[in-house]
Structure 1
Amino acid sequence: MKNSLTLGDHGVRNGNVLHMFFRQLGGGCAMYYIDKELFDTRFNYDFTDIKDDGKKFVRGGKNYSRPTGCKRYAIKVNDKYEDNKWLGCSGDIKEWPVAYHGTKENNSHDIAKNGFDLSKCQRFAYGRGIYCTPDPETARLYAKEYVFQGKTYHLIFQTRVNPKTMVVVKKADLNGHGEYWTVPENGHIRPYGVCVYPV
């Protein structure tokens, strides 16, 4: 961040949620925020004390690993898409499977506001596409730690993925971790929640 620029120059407006954390090297300060207007609090969910051992959930024909241990803040999606059948949980054929995506703090606001942008992706270890995983613990490996009010957190996005275009590029190991999916088009992976985990 340049010292001559204001918060407004970075797109921060009155009422934005602003988290600050300090980097050890060089003493620089990085900014982390998502505009509170992008959230739909009616669908927030507290997974912090939930245990899913032995329970099975399915979304879009794929196993759904719930993000236990986090607080999930719902992103507004009602006015973004033609319908929300992709977001269903009844087994409807238009329902999409759940996946997770970990990212850098400076990408979070744009993803919550505009969705994913393949042109901003830099590494394609298993082929071109937006990477995600059905396992929240695998996604957390790509989440950057940040400190807010003296506590450290991870943030990952909860998404739905179009099953017709997603590609399984790496299968899970024996513990269920490490499966990766790629999505070749921006609109075929849709963020609908921000999962915040205490570290």
Structure 2
Amino acid sequence: MAQFEQFKAAKIHPLLYRPSFDISHFDVRGNKTFSSQIETFQVGPSGRNKLYTQPASWTRYGLKVLGKYPNDDWLHPFGNPGNWYRAYHGTGNATAADFGNPDVLIDKQYAAVDAASSIFEKGFRPARTAVHRVGVYYSPNPIFPENGFVSKVVLDTKRGRKAFKCMLQVAVNPDGVKFATNDIWVVESPKNIRTYGILIKEA
């Protein structure tokens, strides 16, 4: 109950009131509600910038990542030439294997949410199906993951049953990314991709 009250006080979305998450995972400094208008920025090293398209109409719940690595340039301050590229990763197809144990029982209804927690704590795993190359797949286009990689999660609320979508906002090392297509990027090493926020919107 104490944890539940902490989540409410921190204004964490009810979808994240899961045993897999702890209040210490979140950082309010990373919270942001994106407008319905698409905004774009150039991000990355000088001369090697890539387009960052913000996720219109999504709300981001920041994860506690500042201070987790040798320096924060990969993420903060925004606009620093040391910033990594920004992209998106869907967890809608998560299975038990994605949690490191194919025999473990998972709550399929909330698998996409619990997978986000697992990735934050343990890091990414290479895709089970490598269409272009072995590695972790993601997209710089926030709309692309919704086509098959983001699932709806139904939640009972005080206002009735509602469905939400969630996906991860990630940062990608410019020195580790491979551009399979305009909408599909891959990193061969999971150490070259870091999640820093969970995006949620009503489906």
Per-residue CA shift, 1:94-142, capped at 9, x if unaligned?
A: 2111010001314121112232123xx3111111010000011112220
Q: Counterparts of 2:187 and 2:146 in 1: how far apart (Å)?
A: 19
Q: Counterparts of 1:102 and 1:64 in 2: how far apart (Å)?
A: 17
Matches within 5 A, 1:146-161: 146-148=153-155, 149=157, 150-161=161-172
What is the DSSP-based 3-state SS (H/G/I as helix, E as strand, rest coil) of the residue aligned with 2:40? coil
Per-residue CA shift, 1:35-79, capped at 9, x if unaligned?
A: 3321101220011x3412xx5311111101101111100011023
TM-score, normalised relative to structure 2: 0.73
Provide structure 1 residue ranges, at least 5 long, that are not aligned to the other structure.
1-12, 21-30, 172-178
What is the DSSP-based 3-state SS (H/G/I as helix, E as strand, rest coil) of the residue aligned with 2:191? helix
Provide structure 2 residue ranges, at least 5 long, that are not aligned to the other structure.
8-13, 95-111
- Identity across matched positions, percent: 27
2:100 corresponding residue in structure 1: none
2:97 corresponding residue in structure 1: none
1:116 aligned residue (124, 141, 145): 124
How much does 1:14 deviate?
6.7
Q: Is the 8 A contact 1:99 1:133 kept in 2?
A: yes
Per-residue CA shift, 1:75-101, capped at 9, x if unaligned?
A: 110232011101142241x21110100
Report the CA distance shift for 1:34/1:164 in structure 2 as closer, same or farther (over 3 A): same
Q: 2:133 aligned with 1:127, yes or no?
A: yes
Report the CA distance shift for 1:67/1:33 in structure 2 as closer, same or farther (over 3 A): farther
Report the CA distance shift for 1:56/1:78 in structure 2 as closer, same or farther (over 3 A): closer
Matches within 5 A, 1:8-19: 15=3, 19=15
1:67 corresponding residue in structure 2: 55
RMSD: 2.3
Matches within 5 A, 1:76-115: 76-88=64-76, 89-92=78-81, 94-103=82-91, 104=94, 105=112, 106-115=114-123
| More strand, by proportion | 1
Q: 2:145 aligned with 1:139, yes or no?
A: yes
How much does 1:34 deviate?
3.0
2:27 corresponding residue in structure 1: 40
